[in-house]
Structure 1
Amino acid sequence: MSALMVALGAALGAPARFLVDLALKRRFGEDFPWGTLLVNAVGSLFLGALTALPLSSEAAAFLGTGLCGALTTYSTFAHESVQLTRAKARGRALSYVLASLCLGLGSAWLGLTVTALLLGVD
Structure 2
Amino acid sequence: MKLLVVGLGGVVGAVLRYIISKIFKEVMEREHPISTLFINVAGCFFIGFLSSKHLPQGYKLFLTTGLLGGFTTYSTFMLETSMYVKKSKHKKAFVYVFLSIVFGIMAAGAGIWLANAN
Report the TM range for the smaller structure's normalisation: over 0.9
1:42-61 matched pairs, under 5 angstroms: 42-61=42-61
**Which blocks of at least 5 consecutive residues in structure 1 are unaligned?**
none
- List per-residue Cα deviations over 1:46-76 (Å, max 9, x = no partner): 0100011001111111000000001001111
Q: How much does 1:26 deviate?
A: 2.2
Structure 2 counterpart of 1:35, one-letter code: S
Structure 2 counterpart of 1:83, one-letter code: M
Q: How much does 1:19 deviate?
A: 1.4
SS of equivalent to 1:13: helix
Aligned pair count reads: 117
Give the structure 1 partner of residue 82 of structure 2.
82
Q: Percent identity?
A: 33
Give the structure 2 partner of residue 6 of structure 1.
6
Q: How much does 1:21 deviate?
A: 1.1
Give the structure 2 partner of residue 114 of structure 1.
114
**Which blocks of at least 5 consecutive residues in structure 2 are unaligned?**
none
CA distance in 1, matches of 2:20, 2:95: 20
SS of equivalent to 2:54: coil
Could you tell me the TM-score, scaled by structure 1's length?
A: 0.91
Preserved CA contact (<8 Å) 1:49 1:111: yes
Preserved CA contact (<8 Å) 1:49 1:114: yes
Deviating runs (4+, > 4 A) in structure 1?
none
Q: How much does 1:5 deviate?
A: 0.8
User: Is residue 105 of structure 2 the alignment partner of residue 98 of structure 1?
Assistant: no
SS of equivalent to 1:93: helix
SS of equivalent to 2:117: helix
CA distance in 1, matches of 2:14, 2:87: 27
1:24-39 matched pairs, under 5 angstroms: 24-28=24-28, 29-30=30-31, 32-39=32-39
CA RMSD, Structure 1 to Structure 2 (Å): 1.0
Preserved CA contact (<8 Å) 1:2 1:57: no
CA distance in 2, matches of 1:97, 1:113: 24
